[in-house]
Each structure stands twice: as C-alpha cells, then as structure tokens.
A and B are shown apart, each in its own frame.
Chain A
Amino acid sequence: MIETRQLTKRYGHLIAVNEINLSLKEGDVFGFIGPNGSGKTTTMRMIATLLAPDYGEAYVCGKSIYNDPREIRRLVGYMPDFFGVYDDMTVIEYLEFFASAYRINGPGRRKVCEEKLELVDMAFKRDAMVNQLSRGQTQRIGLARTLLHEPQVLLLDEPASGLDPRARIEIRNLLKKLGELKKTVIVSSHILPELADVCTRVGMIEKGNLIVDGYVDEVMRKARQQIMLQIRVKENMEKAAALLEQHDLVSHVDIVKGTIDATLKADTFDYSSLPTMLISEGFQLTLFREEEVNLETAFMSLTKGLVQ
C-alpha cells in the first residue's frame, strides 16, 4: 500500500529525512513516533506529494509520487498538524466545498458530508461558522474533510493535538475503525500510550533516521533487550544490591525510592536464577517484577534524545 525507498530530504546542510525505507500493507495502522523536528511531517508530506524528495522513491497503492501525484492525492487523505480553515464559511459549506473539489457532486454530496459530520460527532455544528469552533472541533472538521473522498490511505499528522480527553478517545476509536475498514493509516503523535492502543506497527524516527520500524510486539521486544527488574527485600537492601551487582546476568544496579532497579545484561531473557539466589542467601523478597515496557519506555530506551 505504501512503500518508500531511501526517501531523503535535505534543507541545505540539514538532512531532514535520511534514506527512510517503509513498507506498509493494507489495514496497517502505523504509528510514527519522534521528537519535534525529527522528520515525521516531512516524510508524510513527501508521501502526500506535497514535497518533492531530494532522493529516493515512494509509492502509494503502486503509484509513484513522481509519476502519478494527482492519482495519489485521490487515494490519500492528508491531515496536516496545523491546517487553516475558511473562517467565513459554515461547517457544511466548508465540507461541501471540499467534497465538490474531490468531484463528489449531485444530491449525494450533502449526504456524504453529513455522514462524515456524524462520524466525527460534529453534526450538531452543521450550520455553525467555522471560526466559531473550538480547536478540538476544528480538528474534527479537518478529519471529516480528510475522510470525504473515502481515501484508501490516511496520513494524519498529530490528529489528537488540542483535543480534550473524550475527543482523544473518540479519535482513537475512529482510528481503530479505519484499520478495521482495511485502510492504511500513518499517524503521528506525541501521546504514545494512545498509539500503542490503535497501531499495529510503529516507527521511531530521530534526526531524520528511522531507527526502529516494526510491529508493536517486535518493537517492545527490541526495547526489552535490556530488561530491568524491580526488587524489594524485607531487610539489608544494600547487601542484596551488592550481591546482585556481582551476578553474571546483571549489568548494573540502582536503589531508587526503596526499590532495587537491576538492569540485566543485553540479550538476557532468562533470569530465574536471580530470585533463587536471593532466597538461598536468606533474603525475604517482597517484590520481584520486570519493569513494564510500553511505547514510552520503548521510545526512551531506543532513542537517544537527539534533535536537529
């Protein structure tokens, strides 16, 4: 559905996107994660044919961004992170304008617009002026506009930004629904727990380089290459920590707020000998657990915090 090959964009000496290779199938919901200025928006804009790459190639549904930009625009719905709206129009006029621009004409056009308004839960604002909408409502109208022409591919740049918690949950559900409808979605967000719920795949980008790309489980597994254990003993915490530090499986140990954080050596997955050793040394364990890995911790462990 979407394929990029060594997609590169430079601004002078700055490499905004560096040889990104992506391959997404129908129904994939791809979470694009990275700090501000890491190259997410630039990548999306190149796939959306708004920005010409300096090097590399991208295909959407088999169409090249160089040869078939107009066909790609027919297939893609792109919602930028910040987009303007026509303040002097009503909501329904705004949607009808874009529907007509997508050549949706005739009596069905109004119906399509109203369906999309229902979908984003904005039907009650149908005749309101666009400039009277809140930020979150404008965001939803933008999403409705993006969905008007039933695109096969959706590129959503920070769709949840500015939304209240309820609206975020609704957007999350909508993304799940789009995935179920076999649409391919690339969605960028800074709110990582939300992405974990809806995405089938994630990619982490830093300083223009795609450093991780894979299914959510794979990425979590990668992040778990250095497992951290949280251990509490009833007495002699320092002694237990010293003992753990000497163990072959342990890389290093910290005591944080009354808990021993023991980081295991890379590629260590079987750590069953550690609780056995502690118990045999006479320590009474009150807590022994593996630190939970979510997208946030995965992001923190896999990226270096580099920005450009």
Chain B
Amino acid sequence: MYGAFALLERSLRVDSRALSPHLARLGLLGAIYFSLCYALTTSFMFGAPGLRFFQGIAYLDATFMTLLGIGFFSTSITEEKEEDTLGLMLMAGISPLGILAGKSGGRLWQSLLLIAVQYPFVMLAVTMGGVMHSQVWSVTVALLAYMVFLAGFGLLCSTLAPRSQTASVWMVIGLLIYFVVPSVAVSWSISHTTWLLNQRGTTPQTTLFRTLIEGIGDICVFLQMGKILTTGFRDTAWSTQVVTNVLAGVACVALSWLFFGVATRSPSTEGGSRGLVTRNRQLSPFYAGRTWINPFVWKDFHFVSGGMGMILVRVVYYGGLSLVALAIENKNDPYAMSWFGTIFFLVWFSVVVDAARVLSRSMQDEVRGQTLASLMMLPRSANGIVYSKFAGAMLGWLPGPIIGLIFTIVSPTMREGIEQMLYEQNGVNGIVVITMLILYFALIPHYAAFFALYVRWGAVALAIGMTIATYFVLMMGLSICLMLASGTGPINSAELLLFVISIVLFFICAACHIGVMLRVQALGSK
C-alpha cells in the first residue's frame, strides 16, 4: 500500500498548498453566509427560516457535488493516461489498487472537506427554527454517501474510458440514469401501483413489485433529501439511499480494480478522434473538405462542434424531443403536461449546455494541445481569431436554438405562456424577466469559455455551478439591499431588482469576453 499512501500524500500536499481549493471552501462558506443573511432578513415574511436556509444549502451542495463529480472524479485516471504517466507509476512499483486509491482518495477527501467545513454553520439552522438536528444529520449523511457514489462511479468511468472527455460523457449518462429512473419510478409508483393493487389485490408478487419500485425511488439523493426535509421526519439517517449509494460506490471501486489491467493496457487515443468528420470524399456529407476562406470558422465547425454529422445528430435530437412534446401537448392529462414541461426545459437546457460545451472545447482544445502560440503568431488580431473560432463552434450548435424556437412558437401552450408573460400581466415586468432569464442562460456559455482557459476539465460543470452561485449571490444580495433600503419588503421592488440583476449579468458577460481575450494572449505568449 506504499503507492497508495505516496500518491495520497502528494495529492493532499498539493491541495493544502494550492490556493484554489481554499478559495473554493471559502466561497462555499460565503454562500452559506449569504443564505443565512437572506433567511434571517426574510424571516418576517415566511416561517421556518432555519428550514429554508438549510434547504437552500443542501440542494446547492448536491447540485455542486454533481457538477464537481463530472469534471473532478471522472478524470482521476484518464489524466494519467493522457500524460502517459500510468506506465511509469506501475514501473515504480505502485499497485493498481494503490493508483486507484491514491488518485481518487485525495479527491474524495477534498470533496468531503467541502461538506465537513460547513457542518458547524448549518447547525445554526436548528437554532433558527423549522428544522431538527436529526434532519441536518440525515441530510449530511445522505450527501456524504452520494459523494462516495460519485467518487466510485467517476473512478470506474475514468478507468474504463480512454480519454477524460469520454469519461465525463459516460458519467453524465450514468448520472442521468441515476436521477431519471428513480423519479420515473416514483411517478409510476404513485399512478400505477395503487391501480395494480386494486386490480389484483395484495399478493406476494404485487408486494414485491411495489417494494422494488419504491426501492428504486429511494436511491436518488435529491428525492431522499426531499423526504428528510418534510415536517415530521423521524426515520433513521441510514436510509436505502445511503446504503445503496455507498455500496454502489464501493462496487464501482472494486470493478475499477478488476478492469484496471485490461482498460489501461492500450495507450490513450487523446486528440486523435475526428468524431463524425470523415477523411473520405465518398462520404461527402460528413467530409471536412478544403479549408474555407476563414480557416478558424472551418476548423471549429468541423473539429469542435462536429461538422455536418453532428448537425444531423442535433436535428434528430432536438427535432425528436420537440415532436414528442407536441404530440403529448394535446392530451388533456396533467401527467402528460408535466412531461411536456420537462421536455421543454430539457430542449432549452440542452441548447445552453451544448453552447457551453462547444465554446469551452473551442478554447480548451487549444490550451491542451498547446497550439495558442502558433495561432497568436498569425498576422491576425487575437480578437478576430477568437471570435472566428467561436463563430465556427456556434455554427454547428445552431440547429438547437432554431428548432427550440420553432418548437416554442408552434406550441400553443408555450405561445400562450409567453404572450401572457409579455402582455396580459405587467408588460414591462415580462420583458425584464425574459431578458434576465436569457442573460442567465447566456452566462453559462460565457463562464464556460472563460473557465476553459483555466481548468483542464469540467469547465461546463464549473460554469453551471458558478451561474447558480451568481444567481444566489445576486438574488440574495440585491434583495437584502433593496429591503434594507426600502423597508417595505421585496415584492414592490421586484422589477428594480430584476433590472439591476440583468445589468449586472450583462457586465459579467462582458467581463468574460475581456477575460478570454487577455487570457488567450497571455497563454499564447508562454
């Protein structure tokens, strides 16, 4: 186990010396402090400030951990594969288990610290009222178990995948299953098991079926937190979610160990993939062809956003989702309408995440490939190069927003909703709300492009996390300021609040543009 301790020790040393992990923990404490102030300031309007404060923190933690896990845990082994250092570690006598434990242990420890550091502060929620000590403890245990699952699953993806990007994609798919399947199971269990019991009565088979469906519904951390934070929660902290998450995490580590030799035998194929872009003229629709007059647009269209092949994939994906949503829209069923809403959100969320992904890749590929110096040596302005690259990347992204817009316009429900928002309520307010929402969504790709120049992996996850953090800070900070200034509560000042937030968001986006330019020039000169 020497290797495991050597790697773990190094990882902890790096963590303790680096500034960024300390800043991340400080930032988290800052977010808690903001939530605390907000909960206290608004306590005269809403009851149970402790519960609201704790709820906000708990869900923020779970979201942040999920995003962190995608970029952080899924790269623990692949980054060594890409640097070709895995073989050196094995030659140095570090066992596969040592490498796995050493590489993921340090990251797990850093993440656990994020939860541990806030525990004393969240206990204040008990003092504030509305939440019990047992609920705080149960949520903390649930989050720690979820963290173990994320670390284990990320390690498995990282061991099996040849590249970090692939590992991240696998992890996203795995987590989607982790979130969607229990949610569907819960909805299905509510609507169908009662019907089944009425039809067939209580038999061992129906009981087993019901237990199984309910069990699946119990494994998701978000659903479990929802249960814990309901009034009158009295269950044990060691729930099905905790047990299954920890077991799944440990099983993933065991599988990683089992498959380590096979999965790491062949060298990494980092950077060699052209995706759907062919080198063969005969498959002309997906052929990159000759370089265009603007080579940066050509390059990023084909090699970042995936070219014509990925345009087709996007058309099928967004078109398919939109058609399904339009098909279920006409059914007068509240269950179908909730799915319609989910699909609508998914379409637009995918558009935003895809924009963030292509923009961050546009920058990250240059940083990782150390090609920025070659680009900066070209007789073109840095701005021209960067914006041409972004244009190329966004060209392949376009089917998403176009189909999304058509879907929104064609759908009577959505059209009606937007019209209501713009005209039937307070017209000015509607425009401000829509502007703010667009700016919030625009902030994610802006952050992603900016962070891609600083972090090796997980810029998109970091961007989403930062956008959520920005939302909390702006909403809480500004509403506190407005309340303190007016003394009449936030309702009357809502329009001003949203307007100020929109302006701040606009300036953050502009700052990201400037930041990207400065960083690109700095990296190009290295």
**A residues near B, CB below 8 A?**
45, 48, 50-52, 70-71, 73-74, 76, 78, 80, 82-90, 93, 96-103, 105, 109-110, 127, 129, 131-132, 145
Interface residues on B, range: 20 to 34
Q: Is B425 an interface residue (CB 8 A)?
A: no
**How far, in whole Å, are A15 and B299 apart by their CA atoms in the complex?**
39
A117 to chain B, nearest CB (A): 15
- The answer to whether A84 and B370 touch across the interface, beta carbons within 8 angstroms, is yes
B303 touches A86 (CB 8 A): yes
Of the listed residues A73, A76, A84, A131, the one surrounded by the most CB atoms of chain B closer than 10 A to its CB is: A84
Separation of A84 and B364 alpha carbons in the complex (Å): 13
Q: Are B379 and A97 in contact (CB under 8 A)?
A: no
In the complex, B201 has a CB within 8 A of chain A: no
Q: Which residues of A contact B369 (CB under 8 A)?
A: 84-87
The answer, yes or no, to whether B415 is at the interface (CB within 8 Å) is no
Q: Which residues of A contact B379 (CB under 8 A)?
A: 70-71, 73-74, 102-103
State which of A74, A83, A98 has its C-beta within 8 Å of the C-beta of B373: A83
Decide: A97 and B377 in contact? CB cutoff 8 A.
Answer: no
A132–B272 alpha-carbon span in the complex (Å): 8
Beta-carbon contact of A88 and B525 below 8 Å: no
Chain B neighbourhood of A48, CB < 8 A: 377
B419 located at the interface, meaning its Cβ lies under 8 Å from any Cβ of chain A in the complex: no
Contact B374–A84 (Cβ < 8 Å): yes
- What would 17 A/B residue contacts be, using CB atoms closer than 8 Å? A48-B377, A50-B524, A73-B378, A74-B379, A76-B377, A80-B373, A83-B370, A84-B370, A88-B272, A96-B291, A97-B291, A97-B298, A98-B295, A98-B378, A100-B298, A101-B378, A129-B272
Q: How far is the CA of A48 from the CA of B291 in the complex (A)?
A: 26
B488, CB-defined interface residue at 8 Å: no
Min CB–CB distance B478 → chain A (angstroms): 40
Q: Are A97 and B299 in contact (CB under 8 A)?
A: yes
Contacts of B295 in A (CB 8 A): 96-98, 100-101
* Chain B residues positioned under 8 Å from A100 (CB to CB): 291-295, 298
A50 x B373 contact (CB < 8 A): yes
CA of A89 to CA of B271, assembled, Å: 10
Cβ–Cβ < 8 Å partners of B378 in chain A: 73, 98, 101-102
CA A129 – CA B277 in complex, angstroms?
Answer: 13
Q: Is the Cβ of A73 less than 8 Å from the Cβ of B272?
A: no
Task: Mark contacts of B285-314 with chain A using CB atoms, 8 A cut-off: 1 yes-contact digit, 0 otherwise.
Answer: 000101111111011000100000000000
Is B9 on the interface with A (CB-CB < 8 A)? no
Q: Among A73, A89, A110, which residue has the most Cβ atoms of chain B within 10 A?
A: A89
Q: How far is the CA of A84 from the CA of B291 in the complex (A)?
A: 19
* Interface SS majority for chain A: mixed
Given A50-B525, A100-B293, A101-B296, A87-B377 contact (CB < 8 Å)? no
**Is B270 an interface position by the 8 A CB rule?**
yes
Cα A129 to Cα B373 in complex, Å, equals 21
Residues of B within 8 A of A87 (CB): 270-272, 369
User: Are A82 and B370 in contact (CB-based, < 8 A)?
Assistant: yes
Contact of A93 among B288, B370, B381 (CB under 8 A): B288
A296 to chain B, nearest CB (A): 30
CA A172 to CA B163, docked complex, whole Å: 38
Tell me the minimal C-beta distance from A111 to chain B in angstroms.
13
- Counting from the closest, the 7 A-B pairs by CB-CB distance are A87-B271, A84-B370, A100-B295, A84-B369, A74-B379, A84-B371, A73-B379
Chain B nearest Cβ from A88, distance in angstroms: 5
Distance of A50 from chain B, by nearest CB (Å)? 5
Q: Name the distance in Å between A41's Cβ and chain B's nearest Cβ.
A: 10
| Chain A CB within 10 Å, residue with most, of B292, B299, B375 | B299
For the A-B complex, the count of residue pairs with Cβ-Cβ distances under 8 Å equals 87
Cα–Cα, bound, A80→B523 (Å): 14
Does B332 reach chain A (CB closer than 8 Å)?
no
- Closest CB of chain B to A163's CB: distance in Å? 19
Residue ID in chain A nearest B369 by CB atoms: A84
Q: Mark B233-274, 1 if CB is under 8 A from A, else 0.
A: 000000000000000000000000000000000000011111
CA distance A131 to B269 in the complex (A): 9
| Residues A127 and B290 in contact in the complex (CB < 8 Å), given A50-B373, A71-B379 | no
User: Cβ of B133 < 8 Å from any Cβ of A?
Assistant: no
A74 to B371, CA, bound (A): 18
**Is there an interface contact between B373 and A70, defined as CB atoms closer than 8 Å?**
no
| Extra inter-chain contacts (8) besides given A88-B273, A90-B279, CB under 8 Å | A86-B371, A88-B272, A93-B291, A98-B374, A98-B378, A100-B292, A100-B294, A110-B290
Residues on B with beta carbons closer than 8 Å to the beta carbon of A99: 291
In the complex, A93→B368 CA distance in Å? 20
Choice from A73, A84, A89 contacting B377 with Cβ under 8 Å: A73
Q: Give the distance in Å from the alpha carbon of A283 to the alpha carbon of B357 in the complex.
A: 84
B376 at the interface (CB under 8 A from A): yes
Whether A70 contacts B377 in the complex (CB less than 8 A), given A87-B272, A88-B272, A100-B293, comes out as no
Contact (A88, B373) CB under 8 Å given A50-B524, A73-B378? no
Give B296's nearest chain A residue, CB to CB.
A101
User: CA of A99 to CA of B369 in the docked complex: distance in angstroms?
Assistant: 19
Mark B46-83 against chain A: 1 for CB-CB distance below 8 A, else 0. 00000000000000000000000000000000000000
Q: Bound state CA distance, A110 and B279, in angstroms?
A: 16
How far does the alpha carbon of A73 sit from the alpha carbon of B271 in the complex, in Å?
Answer: 28
Least distance between A94 CB and chain B CB atoms (Å): 10
Shortest beta-carbon distance from A16 to chain B in Å: 13
Chain B residue with the shortest CB-CB distance to A72: B379
- Interfacial chain B residues near A86, Cβ < 8 Å: 299, 303, 369, 371
Complexed CA–CA distance, A100 and B378 (Å): 10
Q: Which of B414-464 contact A (CB under 8 A)?
A: none
Cβ of B380 < 8 Å from any Cβ of A?
yes
CB B452 to nearest CB in A, in angstroms, measures 16
User: B279 and A105: CB pair below 8 A?
Assistant: no
Closest to B273 in A: A88
Q: Is the beta-carbon distance between B525 and A45 smaller than 8 angstroms?
A: yes
**Distance, CA A164 to CA B419, complexed state (A):** 71
C-alpha spacing A97/B296, complex, angstroms: 8
Do B525 and A101 touch across chains, with their CB atoms under 8 A apart? no
Q: Looking across the interface, which residue of chain A has its beta carbon closest to that of B294?
A: A100
B275 to chain A, nearest CB (A): 8
Q: Which of B362-420 contact A (CB under 8 A)?
A: 366, 368-371, 373-381
Q: Decide: A83 near B291, CB < 8 A? Known: A90-B279, A97-B298.
A: no
Q: How many Å lie between the Cα of A85 and that of B296 in the bound state?
A: 14
Q: Give Cα distance in the complex from A131 to B279, angstroms.
A: 14
Distance in angstroms between the alpha carbons of A127 and B278 in the assembled complex: 12
What is the minimal beta-carbon distance from B115 to any residue of chain A, in angstroms? 38
Asked if A88 and B274 sit within 8 Å, CB to CB, the answer is yes
What is the bound-complex CA distance between A87 and B67, given in angstroms?
28
Measured between beta carbons, the chain B residues less than 8 angstroms from A76 are 377
- B373, A96: Cβ atoms under 8 Å? no
Smallest beta-carbon distance A48→chain B, Å: 6
List of B residues within 8 angstroms of A83 by Cβ: 370-371, 373-374
Chain B, residues 303-336, CB within 8 Å of chain A (1/0): the string is: 1000000000000000000000000000000000
Residues of B within 8 A of A52 (CB): 525
Q: Report how far A110 CA is from B288 CA in the complex, Å.
A: 15
CA distance in complex: A83, B369 (Å): 8
The docked-state distance in angstroms from the alpha carbon of A305 to that of B380 is 40
Q: Would you give the shortest CB distance from B303 to chain A, in whole angstroms?
A: 5
A75 to chain B, nearest CB (A): 9
* Cβ of B520 to closest chain A Cβ, rounded Å: 12
Residues of A within 8 A of B376 (CB): 50
Q: Report the Cα distance A98→B291, complex, angstroms.
A: 9
Closest partner residue, chain B, to A155 (CB atom): B377
A71 and B379 alpha carbons, distance in the complex (Å): 7
